[in-house]
């Protein structure tokens, strides 16, 4: 598909087409619903996939992680699973705009029923940027797309881990971005589902501020041994991204 020629017919009212600053990739977003953030971009850089791997992104939203990973890996296939119909539709149209239909597929469905959509142990890599906040924390409208993306309305941490346990092959890798304040709960839930925490990296907004994100890698049926990487500081000064963010992520 010619991106310049067909972009207008694939956009719906209120939507915009954003440049991802990587390999000419574009993504459709709707500011009234939910736009991807730094966390999704950082996860796409933290995760890895080998040649020929099958990758699944749980709760893919508008498909940002599979689309970005299509540029940085030689994975055979990248599947995004999304429960919100409108978000899944935007993701499918973004795949078309980028001519990625042969590698990236979007599935409209529920994480809690993913074992009915995919074969057991059929993925080498699973990524996820799940809702961070428990349902009662600052919770408002359960039907609001932004609330669904941010709060554990339609799925919680346990649902994500149970799904990953079923769909990851033995030795498969699991990647997630989350909030540090839930790290103990995350590790407990991972281990209960035979996903051993192997690597973490804390993300700080500034060098003198507490981390507000954590990147986590787990291994299906892995042995205990955790590596803690040097922290990533997003800003050198207000409005000034650090060198790593500029060079590796295009900001």
pLDDT digits (tens, 9 = 90+) for 163-207: 999 999 999 999 999 999 999 999 999 999 999 999 999 999 999
Structural fold of domain 3-249: Rossmann fold (3.40.50)
> Residue 146 pLDDT more than 90?
no
**C-beta of residue 42 within 8 angstroms of C-beta of residue 90:** no
pTM of the model: 0.90
> Residue 35 pLDDT more than 90?
no
Structure tokens at 231: 């922290």
Low-confidence winner among 123-127, 167-171, 210-214, 242-246 (lowest mean pLDDT): 242-246
User: Residue 2: pLDDT band by 50, 70, 90 thresholds?
Assistant: low
> Residue 154 pLDDT more than 80?
no
Mean pLDDT of 125-135: 83
pLDDT digits (tens, 9 = 90+) for 60-91: 999 999 999 999 999 999 999 999 999 999 99
Phi, psi of 250 (to 5 degrees): 80, 15
Mean pLDDT of 23-29: 94
Low-confidence winner among 112-121, 144-153, 198-207 (lowest mean pLDDT): 144-153
């Amino acid at each position: 598909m010619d991106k310049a020629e067909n972009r207008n017919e694939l956009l719906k009212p209120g939507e915009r087409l954003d440049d991802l600053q990587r390999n000419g990739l574009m993504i459709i977003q709707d500011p009234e619903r939910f736009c991807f953030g730094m966390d999704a971009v950082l996860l796409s850089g933290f995760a890895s996939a080998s040649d020929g791997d099958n990758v699944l992104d749980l709760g893919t939203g508008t498909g940002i992680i599979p689309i970005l990973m299509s540029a940085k890996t030689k994975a055979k296939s990248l599947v995004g699973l999304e429960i919100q119909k409108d978000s899944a539709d935007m993701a499918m149209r973004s795949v078309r705009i980028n001519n990625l239909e042969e590698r990236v597929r979007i599935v409209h469905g529920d994480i809690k029923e993913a074992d009915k959509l995919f074969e057991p142990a059929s993925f080498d890599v699973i990524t996820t940027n799940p809702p961070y906040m428990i349902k009662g924390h600052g919770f408002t409208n359960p039907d609001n797309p932004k609330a669904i993306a941010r709060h554990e309305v339609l799925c919680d941490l346990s649902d994500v881990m149970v799904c990953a346990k079923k769909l990851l092959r033995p030795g498969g890798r699991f990647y997630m971005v989350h909030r540090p304040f839930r790290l103990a709960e995350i590790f407990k839930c991972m281990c209960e589902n035979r996903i051993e925490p192997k690597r973490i990296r804390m993300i700080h907004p500034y060098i003198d501020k507490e981390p507000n994100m954590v990147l986590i890698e787990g291994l299906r049926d892995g042995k205990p041994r955790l590596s803690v990487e040097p922290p990533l500081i997003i800003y050198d000064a207000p409005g000034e991204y650090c060198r790593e963010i500029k060079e590796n992520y295009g900001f």
